[in-house]
Structure 1
Amino acid sequence: MNINVVMIENLDEKAPFIIQKQMIFYGRTHLIQVNNTFYLTVGMNKTEKTMEDIRFLGGETRKAIDTYDITSVSINFDRLFKHYTSYSNKDIVVSFMEGWYLAGYSFLTYQMREPEHEVSLQLGTQAYEYYAEVARVRANAVCIARDLCNEPANKLTPNTYVKKIRSIFHDSPVHVEILESEEDLLKHGLEATAIVGKGSSRSPKFAVLTLKNSNASHIGLVGKGVTFDSGGTNSKIASDIGEMKMDMGGQLLSLEQ
C-alpha cells in the first residue's frame, strides 16, 4: 500500500478531503482514504517553531506509518517549508528525516523475530533524497549509541566494548588507540581510571580516537565510559540497578560525534 503524507496547519488549507479541527493539532496523525488513494495527515498547528519541533513531526509520522502495512510513502515538504520559514529547506528535510529514522529504532539484538520490511520513500527531488541520507547517517550514529547503552552489562564489558569501537571505526579515517594496561593508564596520568577499575574483575580500558581532518585548532571531547557503575560496592538502591549499564552514555555521545 502506498500512502501520501500531508502536513496540515490550518482548517482553510486545500486538500482532497475535508479538513477537520483535530487534524491540525500539532503532532496528531490521521489515516484517510479518498477513493483508492490513502493520505496520512500530520498536524502542524503550533505557535513555537523550532528544529526540534520538525524532528518531532518526523518521528510521529514514522510511528504512524509503522502501525500499517505500508510499502511506499510519499512525503511532500512544501507545507513544512511554508510553515518553518526561519530555516533552510535542507535543515527542514534533515531534521524531519532525523526524527523519522530515530523513531524507527528498536533494540532487537536478542529477539527472535522476522526483520521488518523496508518502506520505499518518495521525497520528490534528488536534493531531498541527499538530505535524507545525511539524516540517516546522523541517526545511525545515535542508534549505535543506543544499541551499546541497551546491551546487558554481562555482554558489554570493557573488552567487548573495545572490540566494538574498533569495529565501528574499521576502514574509516579515525585512528583508534586503546590504553589497556595499568602501566599505560598511570603513564598518561589516568590514576582515577586505574584505581576505579581495580574494583572489577574486568580490567579498565581507555579509548583515544583521533580524526585528523583539519588544520584548525584541536577539539577534544571527553566522555565517561563506565560499562557498569554500581557507585562503589553497590551503594545504589535497587530501582537504579537497571540504569547502571547506561553510565557510559557520556562516552557514547563523544563516540557518535
Structure 2
Amino acid sequence: MSMKATILFANDPLITGKSLKQFVENSSTSINKVYKGGELFVVIKKTERGTKSYENVRMTAGSIARELSKQKVEYASINENALTGAYDSLEKGLVVTAFVEGWALGSYQFLKYKSIKEAFKTNLQVDGYGKTQSYINAGQIRADTAS
C-alpha cells in the first residue's frame, strides 16, 4: 500500500465540518495533518496578507516535506491553482518555484558520515495544467544548486 498525502489550504471545500475547521484554526502550527475518510491531508492555515512572501512559501513547503518524509509518505500532491491562489499577492509562477525549492531543500538529508544510511524522500507532485513545468524545473535547479 502506498502512502499518499494531499496538501490543501484551510479554505478548501474538502475541509468541512465545524470541528475540523476549528481544529485547523485553533492549531498552534501553520500546517496540520488530518485523516479524513482514510486519506491523509496536510492542511495549511490561511496566511495573513502581510506575511505572504516567497520565503514563507519555501519554509511551509520545507516543513511539510520534512514531516511527511519522517512518516515515510511516498508522495504528496498539491493543486497548482490552490497554491497560487493562497499566495494571490505574489507572482504565480514564482510561488510554484518557491514551493518546489522549499520542498527539495526541506527533503535534503546529510548522510555522508552516517554508518547506516536510510535516505527517504517524499516526492512532490504539482497537479495543474502543465503551464508551470518550467517553474517546477527552476525550483528544483535552485534547490540543487543550494545543496
Task: Output the TM-score relative to the length of structure 2.
Answer: 0.79
Instruction: Mark the CA change 1:108 to 1:114 in structure 2 (over 3 Å): closer, same or farther.
Output: closer
Identify which of 35, 38, 45 aligns with 2:37.
35
Change over 3 Å in CA distance of 1:63–1:44 after alignment to 2: farther
Q: CA deviation at 1:6?
A: 0.6
Q: How does 1:13-28 map to 2 (within 5 A)?
A: 13-18=12-17, 19-24=20-25, 28=30
After TM superposition, give the deviation of residue 16 of structure 1 in Å.
4.5
Closer, same or farther: CA 120–80 of 1 in aligned 2, 3 Å: closer
Q: Distance in 2 between matches of 1:4 and 1:124?
A: 10
Q: Residue type of the partner of 1:53?
A: N
Aligned to 2:61: 58
**CA, structure 1 residues 26+56, in 2 after alignment: closer, same or farther (shift >3 Å)?**
farther
Aligned to 2:134: 130
Aligned to 2:112, which of 109, 112, 117? 109
Supply the RMSD in Å over aligned alpha carbons.
2.4
What amino acid is the match of 2:5? I
Q: Which residue type is aligned with residue 110 of structure 2?
A: F
Aligned match of 1:121: 124
Change over 3 Å in CA distance of 1:65–1:72 after alignment to 2: same
* Change in 2 beyond 3 A, CA 1:42/1:133: same
Corresponding letter in the other structure for 1:40 = V
Which digits, 9 at most, give the CA deviation of each residue in 1:204-226, with x for residues without a partner?
Answer: xxxxxxxxxxxxxxxxxxxxxxx
Kept in 2, the 8 Å contact 1:72–1:120? The answer is yes
CA distance in 2, matches of 1:123, 1:132: 8
Aligned pairs, how many? Answer: 140
SS at 1:127's partner residue? coil
| Largest Rg, 1 or 2 | 1
Q: Which amino acid aligns with 1:106?
A: Q
**Structure with bigger RCO (C-alpha 8 Å, 6+ apart):** 2
Q: Distance in 1 between matches of 2:49 and 2:24?
A: 16
Query: Following superposition of structure 1 onto structure 2, how do residues 70-219 of structure 1 map, counting pairs within 5 Å?
Result: 70-125=73-128, 126-143=130-147
User: Secondary structure at the residue paired with 1:94?
Assistant: helix
- Measured after TM superposition, the shift of residue 50 of structure 1 is 1.6
